[in-house]
Each structure stands twice: as structure tokens, then as C-alpha cells.
Amino acid sequence: MRIAIIGAGQATATLLQTLIRGEFAGTLTVFHDEGPRPVQRPPLSKTFFKTKTADWLVPDDLMQHPQIRWIHRTVTAIDPDAGHVIWDDEHDSFDHIVLATGTRSLKPTIEGASQDTCHTLRTLADAEAILKRITPETQVVIQGSGFLAFEIAHALATTVASVSLLLKTDRAMPQVSEVIATALMEDCPATCYPDTQIEYIQPEMAKLHTSKGPLACDLIISAIGSVPNAELGAPWGLTDQYGIAVDATMQTAHPRVSAMGEVASFPNPHTHRTQRIESIAQANDTAQVLAARLLGNPQPFQATPWFWSDQGAHKLQIAGLATRDDQSTVITHGDNTRVVARHQGEQVTAIEALNQAREFMAARRLFEQGPMNLSDLMQAGSAFSLLQSSRS
């Protein structure tokens, strides 16, 4: 079996490792266009600006494996009926095509901004472009309210003159509870400006004009979200409103095409909704589900969603998946620690753990056992206590 994998992010790395370990008998051709070798994305917003080095995503043994071929080209189209993958003026035929194209950063249009003054951060090339522009005198403005914006603020704070964070709404990190977001914002080294929009920039004066007045600014970094790279599947009716539509085994409507990772839109068994999730865990879990099917042992997606974000010295870990409208109940509260239950009525949808790794791991195991009840959690006093009682 000849398989083409388009994209070389976390999902592809996991798929390759799982297939080779599972003694896959065919060949694997990986198409990617982000430099000579795939890199891990999370360190780009956490450690890259201090270490100035990237962490390789794919180990040497897979880069040189005889069953794996790497093609450093941008795929422009696919023809699933013929099994064709098309790039430049070339094409090749495959028995199966895997779309692992991920997402790309949203790029705002800012009056007066140029490529030198306005950046996003997703790829190694993005990180290197920002690194070239920063000095100890640089005044950085970050546009965004989510985890990525705050991670970048922590990463740059000690290497530039100032960091300002422009929040779209009146609060930070709307994807988590307000008590967690407040604790992290209070410890952020950037100056935060809630409910602030960019109007235009005057690069020659190092001045950014906003709805709240002017700010000193040499460089803008936008972290305002992303969109799925679903264009290859659209002509073949393989997309929905979220991304590339797949079933619980990562199979699209075309028998020759699968999708995985951040581009895959699938029925989530925990939320009972069709959705697309952006996380390393999601990339790994969907890749393992796809690998199992390709190895002849199909198993539907069942993994509990989980997330993490390093915010300076703080580690935020989340088990489960809440909506922004879910209620919040504080379970434990310490000097530098928080555990918050997100819930819809009595049903717990997520556990947010700030600097509480044991609680996070317990919450993941509880979600794997089935639905969690808020009253039981409150009575136990913590996810860890509830896990222990469930085992007795």
C-alpha cells in the first residue's frame, strides 16, 4: 500500500511512528513545505526566543527510514478518484491520501503595517522572522487574548524593552474560567489593555494608534486565531463548516482519503458535537486512531480531550472540553494553585488545574471512566480524592 501524507506536523509524526511500530508493510510519502525538517510548534512560543534553537519533531530514524520518503514541495491539488497528489508540474499516484494540513494563523489587515512590522507565529520561519526584528530596545505589541498571546508575552518579556497585550474583549483567555484567567493575567509581564482594537500604525514614528489611544510600537505580533487548511478537500466535497469532515475513524466521505489532526472535523463522543480541536493531544489521538485503521484494527475515537499552556512559571492543564458559556465552580484555591470545575448543571465538562499536575492527571482518569457529577466532585473535595474513592 502506498500512502501519501500531506503535512508534517504532530499528527504526521505520531502516524509515522505508530505505523512503523505496527509493522506497516507499505510505503509512506510525506509532503511538507516548512523547511528541511519538521519542528515542534509549542516551543516556538515558549523557549525559542531564549534558546534560539528549534526542537526537531521527527527523530533521525524516521527521517532516514527506508519506508518513508520526504518531498519538500507544496501540494496544490489532489485527485482522489485517480489517487493523484499534484505539486508544481508533477504528480504521483497513491492508494490512500492522508490530509494532515493543519491550520494557518489569521493575519489581520492593519493600515500602515508592512511585513516587517506585523507578524504571526506558527512556523519556524515565523519565529525566525520575529527573532531578526527584536532587540533590547524593541517595543512589542501583541494582539490577542488567548493562550498563545500570553505565552509569547512571557517569552519576549526579558529580551525586549516593553510588551503590550491588546485584548479583544474585557477579559483574558475566554476559553478558560475567569478565576484562572485573572490569576494568569495578574502575573503576566506584559501591560494588558482590555477591549482594545488597533486602528493604524505609523512605523516611522514607532507609534500604534488604538481605540484607547497611542502606544509605542516597533513590532506587532498577531495571535488572533487560526483557520483550517481544508482547501485540498473542498473540490471533492470533503469539507464541512469546521474543516475536513471525517467519521470516528478519521475516514472522509471518499474511500481513498483520510484526515487527522487540527484540520479534522469529527463527531466528539464526549461533547456529542461535531467539532475541530486544536491541541497536541488531539493530533496524537487522531493519528493513533487512523493508524489503527490503516493497520487493519479500526477503533473509533474515544480519547478525552486535554490541553496545556506554559504561562511563565505557571502550568495550566485542562482535562475535558468546556464551552465558553459553561458554569465555573472553584474546587481548590491556594497561593499559586487553582482547580476549577467547568460544568453544565451537574455534568462536569472540564477540569482546569493551575500548577496542580496531580489533580489534572486524576481528572483525565475520571473522564475516561465516564460522566463526572459536580456534587460528587465537591463532596470529595478534589478530583484526586474522587479518583481514589472510585477505586476503593
CA 44 → CA 148, 207, 238, 311, 313, distances in Å? 10, 27, 31, 13, 17
Average pLDDT of span 230-259: 97
Instruction: Please give the Cα distance from 350 to 386 (Å, whole number).
Output: 15
Average pLDDT of span 343-358: 96
Domains and CATH numbers, the chain: 2-42+57-104+226-294 (3.50.50.60), 107-222 (3.50.50.60), 313-391 (3.30.390.30)
- Report the mean per-residue pLDDT for the chain: 95
Please tell me the predicted confidence (pLDDT) of residue 233.
Answer: 98
Average pLDDT of span 33-37: 85
End-to-end CA distance of the chain: 48
* 3-state SS, residue 349: strand
Percent of the chain with pLDDT over 70: 100
Ranking 183-187, 268-272, 377-381 by mean pLDDT, the lowest is 268-272
Percent of the chain with pLDDT over 90: 90
Burial of 207 (0-12, 13-18, 19+ CB in 10 A): middle
Burial of 275 (0-12, 13-18, 19+ CB in 10 A): middle
pLDDT, tens digit (0-9, with 9 covering 90-100), for 42-100: 999 999 999 999 999 999 999 999 999 999 999 999 999 999 999 988 999 999 999 99
Please tell me the predicted confidence (pLDDT) of residue 89.
Answer: 85
Please tell me the predicted confidence (pLDDT) of residue 34.
Answer: 85
Alpha helices by DSSP H, 29-138: 48-51, 60-63, 124-133
* pLDDT exceeds 70 at position 174: yes
pLDDT, tens digit (0-9, with 9 covering 90-100), for 90-135: 999 999 999 999 999 999 999 999 888 999 999 999 999 999 999 9
β-pairing, 219-222 vs 118-120, is: parallel
Identify the band that residue 392 occupies on the pLDDT scale cut at 50, 70 and 90. low
Average pLDDT of span 349-356: 97
Residues of the chain by 3-state class (helix, strand, coil), percent to 5: 25, 30, 40
Given the C-alpha cell 533590547, which residue does it identify? 136
* pLDDT exceeds 70 at position 35: yes
Angle at the Cα of 304 from the Cα atoms of 299 and 307, rounded to 5 degrees = 130
Please tell me the predicted confidence (pLDDT) of residue 270.
Answer: 82
pLDDT, tens digit (0-9, with 9 covering 90-100), for 245-261: 999 999 999 999 999 99
Please tell me the predicted confidence (pLDDT) of residue 271.
Answer: 82
* pLDDT exceeds 90 at position 152: yes
Average pLDDT of span 181-189: 93
Identify the band that residue 227 occupies on the pLDDT scale cut at 50, 70 and 90. very high
- Counting Cα atoms < 13 Å in the Cβ hemisphere of 28 gives 27
Angle at the Cα of 359 from the Cα atoms of 355 and 362, rounded to 5 degrees = 145
